[in-house]
Amino acid sequence: MSLDERDAPLLTLLRVGRIFAPAPLEATDLLIADGRIAALGRDLAVPEGWPVHLVEARDLTAVPAFIDQHVHVTGGGGEGGCGSRCPEITAREIAAMGIGTVVGVLGTDGISRSPADLLAKVRGLKAEGIAAYMYTGSYRVPPPTLTGDVQRDLAWIPEVIGLGELAISDHRSSQPRQDEIARLVSEARVGGMLAGKRGICHFHVGDGQRGLEPLRRLLAETEIPAEQVIPTHVNRHRALLEEAADYALTFAASVDVTAFDDPGEEGLSGFDAVSRLLARGVPVTRITMSSDCNGSLPEFDTQGNYIGMRVARNTALIADWQRLVHEEVLPFDQALGLISGHVARVLGLHDRKGRLAIGHDADVTLLDGNLQPQQTFVAGKRLYARDSSP
């Protein structure tokens, strides 16, 4: 059967070896109806004559499809001029890593790439089957928006689930004042409330000396709850990761680790960062991982001059996550939360994603014994199978 299953029957029955939802289940069958999980059990039967697509995968393990909350879907970069713009990502590149949901971001370049471009790409990915969302804004303050207002973007644009990635402690940021940060986070919060969304503010944290201090002040000096604020790239250097651990413990806040392709001499890999946060006593439920995929990995000299760039990929995200399980840093079911359930909670999507449960979206990844994604289903439609050609 073709990977393009838009015309497939409304019913799909997966028969697998094991199901982690994320906790292990006795069930080995998963019935999907109209894009959602209709039943979980053993030896599930469908009435004779009903159209059903049967997937036999007894050698594979079903888990919630992964969620990547930080993807430059239109490509990042641009710090070295127009020739340094990163390419867009494809739906197949996403699904091949077992990822069913992405959140698109703009980064340094909010000029040649706009929120409108981002929305168009997000809707294109949705048309191809990926569950795709976006943050309005970019590094810049005031942030570029679709409607001219952060609250209106959140209230009226279904795909917009927050504001980001707003840059702090970085020479590429707008150097926002503390009151500007507080105002923007409150705008995102209220806009989210009006739309029934979480309305998070997703913060890019650079390697500047201020680190997380702007966010610490925000939570200490205002009524903004910690769940509205998500700092990412907290493992770009060791001192920042230690500060992130203190921040998470002090405010019961979540922090997002980036699975860097090459963390360099100063940074830590996603594996090392999660391991260190856990050793510091940060609850695993307060840690998420993302890829920064198709963003730029620019290099600057000591004066801040651009000297080169590489393009980030999402392969490191899966490799770091697999290593956490293989080296027994975390049990398999707990590790799943780092790239599924915890992320769904942070984004406010936990009522439909991040779990395999009746009524939830049928976003399912099938893993082999080495935890390598073999098939990816989103809303019950198979978007990727490892043994199939593009």
25 and 120 in a common domain: no
Instruction: Flag whether 360 is marked binding.
Output: no
pLDDT reported for residue 219: 98
pLDDT reported for residue 108: 84
161 and 124 in a common domain: yes
Binning pLDDT at 50, 70 and 90, where does residue 49 land?
confident
- Is there a contact between 350 and 67 (Cβ–Cβ < 8 Å)? no
pLDDT in tens, 120-148: 999 999 999 999 999 999 999 999 999 99
Instruction: Flag whether 49 is marked binding.
Output: no
259 and 240 in a common domain: yes
pLDDT reported for residue 308: 57
Count the domains in the chain: 2
Residue 390 in any domain: the answer is no
Residue 2 in any domain: the answer is no
Instruction: Flag whether 159 is marked binding.
Output: no
- Is there a contact between 205 and 227 (Cβ–Cβ < 8 Å)? no
Give the residue, 108 or 128, on which the prediction is more confident: 128
Residue 44 in any domain: the answer is yes
Say how far apart CA 99 and CA 293 lie, in whole Å: 12
80 and 60 in a common domain: no
Q: What percent of the chain has pLDDT over 70?
A: 90
- Most distant pair of Cα atoms in the chain: their distance: 71
Instruction: Flag whether 139 is marked binding.
Output: yes
21 and 79 in a common domain: no
Residue 327 in any domain: the answer is yes
pLDDT in tens, 82-98: 555 677 899 999 999 99
24 and 72 in a common domain: no
Considering only 54-58, 110-114, 135-139, 345-349, which range has the smallest mean pLDDT?
A: 110-114
Say how far apart CA 159 and CA 9 lie, in whole Å: 27
Instruction: Flag whether 108 is marked binding.
Output: yes
Which CATH number fits the domain that encloses residue 368?
2.30.40.10
pLDDT in tens, 273-320: 999 999 999 999 999 999 998 766 656 567 666 555 566 678 999 999
Residue 4 in any domain: the answer is no
Say how far apart CA 74 and CA 290 lie, in whole Å: 16
Which residues are catalytically annotated?
292
Give the residue, 130 or 387, on which the prediction is more confident: 130
pLDDT reported for residue 371: 98
Q: What is the mean pLDDT of the chain?
A: 91
For residue 291, give every residue at least 6 positions away whose Cβ sits within 8 Å of its Cβ, in sequence order, or none. 68, 70, 71, 258, 259, 312, 313, 314, 316, 317
Residue 242 in any domain: the answer is yes
Q: Which residue is it, tokens 């091949």? A: 96
pLDDT reported for residue 263: 76
Omega cis (within 30) before 176: no
Average pLDDT, stretch 164-177? Answer: 94
Which secondary structure element, helix H or strand E, spans residue 315, and what is its range? helix 315-326
213 and 320 in a common domain: yes
Binning pLDDT at 50, 70 and 90, where does residue 80 land?
low
Structure pTM? 0.92
Residue 34 in any domain: the answer is yes
Binning pLDDT at 50, 70 and 90, where does residue 50 land?
confident
pLDDT in tens, 152-164: 999 999 999 999 9
219 and 121 in a common domain: yes
Three-class DSSP category at 101:
strand
Nearest 10 degrees: Cα torsion 319, 320, 323, 329: -160
Instruction: Flag whether 42 is marked binding.
Output: no
DSSP string, 205-249: E-SSTTTTHHHHHHHHHSS--GGGEEEE-TTSSHHHHHHHHHHHH
Instruction: Flag whether 292 is marked binding.
Output: yes
- What residue numbers bound the domain in which 210 lies? 66-347
Binning pLDDT at 50, 70 and 90, where does residue 2 land?
very low
Say how far apart CA 301 and CA 304 lie, in whole Å: 5
Say how far apart CA 361 and CA 354 lie, in whole Å: 9
- Is there a contact between 114 and 75 (Cβ–Cβ < 8 Å)? no
Residue 1 in any domain: the answer is no
Say how far apart CA 274 and CA 308 lie, in whole Å: 28
Question: Nearest CA to 363 among 202, 154, 56, 132?
Answer: 132
215 and 264 in a common domain: yes
338 and 372 in a common domain: no
pLDDT reported for residue 387: 80
pLDDT reported for residue 3: 42
**Cα angle at 281 between 275 and 286, to 5 degrees?**
80
pLDDT reported for residue 1: 38
368 and 230 in a common domain: no
pLDDT in tens, 191-235: 999 999 999 999 999 999 999 999 999 999 999 999 999 999 999
Which CATH number fits the domain that encloses residue 245?
3.20.20.140
262 and 147 in a common domain: yes
Say how far apart CA 314 and CA 117 lie, in whole Å: 21
Q: Name 104's bridge partners.
A: 71, 134
